[in-house]
Amino acid sequence: MPFAPCQTVTFGYFTLFCLFLNGIPILFYVNLVTMASIFTRIIQGEIPAHKVYEDDQYLAFLDISPLTEGHTLVVPKKEVDYIFDLDDDTLTGLMLVAKKLAPAIQKACPCLRIGVSVIGLEVPHTHVHLIPMQSMRDMNFSNPKLQFSPDELAATASRIRANV
């Protein structure tokens, strides 16, 4: 047999593997810690955000590349990539937070409705988009994203928080 048993050594967050192929050592390592999503980094306070709601399990903040003014992301603090991998209680809680925020967003950013979208391909952390909309076109993610200054985003977030 050309392969000898694999030997491993762990150094902190890394594991070094040594496999022998015909007596020649082949080394490789694996990072045992996956990098936190940008949303986890926001939750942990490493990256600033314009927060509109927070409790012990969920956070909601303004999208920095919004489709419309008031475009809000609601995320569970537990990092789970795919919404349907959430446990039932977390999924239910996520949608209840979205339901709680929708009227506050609608008061802060007058619109016909608050659209709800879950896509999940852009960031590997479950999130719900709450988008103030006047028409179906406002929910088209291929539309150009709007640009707001930090002061404008702060003012929008403040108006939403005032209505929660």
Instruction: Indicate which residues carry an active-site annotation.
Output: 127
What residue has token string 């008061």? 107
Angle at 91 between CA 158 and CA 106, to 5 degrees: 30
Dihedral sign computed on CA atoms, order 130, 135, 139, 141: negative
Residue 57 and residue 90 in contact, taking contact as beta carbons nearer than 8 Å: yes
What are the structure tokens assigned to 28, written together?
């490789």
Helix and strand totals (H; E) in the chain: 3, 8
